[in-house]
Structure 1
């Protein structure tokens, strides 16, 4: 899921988002982000920033 999210958002620093950075308790939240990212084709810069911030908040 994380690889798909980083690819779709064209994130440059993909090393900052690795599966080992997240607890199992973050799975449902990451799944929601994944589903959101898959529903849309384009993201505004503010949407991208909000998604990346939310992913950062889920890290251990």
Structure 2
């Protein structure tokens, strides 16, 4: 996999890596892990909301 960043992104990541004493590679891996965890949680919330809406939809309509 190749990742092409803008020059400003590359420079900002290099500075951050230096500040943290880590590599660009480690920062990118952490960003990918964070993204995957966040979107997985969002998917769970959406699925649960749909399930609950289906379960309680009729009651909610009557309570309007």
Q: TM-score range by the shorter chain?
A: under 0.3
Q: What is the TM-score of this pair, normalised by structure 1?
A: 0.28
Q: What is the TM-score of this pair, normalised by structure 2?
A: 0.26
Answer with 1 or 2: which has the greater Rg: 2
Whose relative contact order is higher, 1 or 2, with alpha carbons under 8 Å and at least 6 apart?
Answer: 1
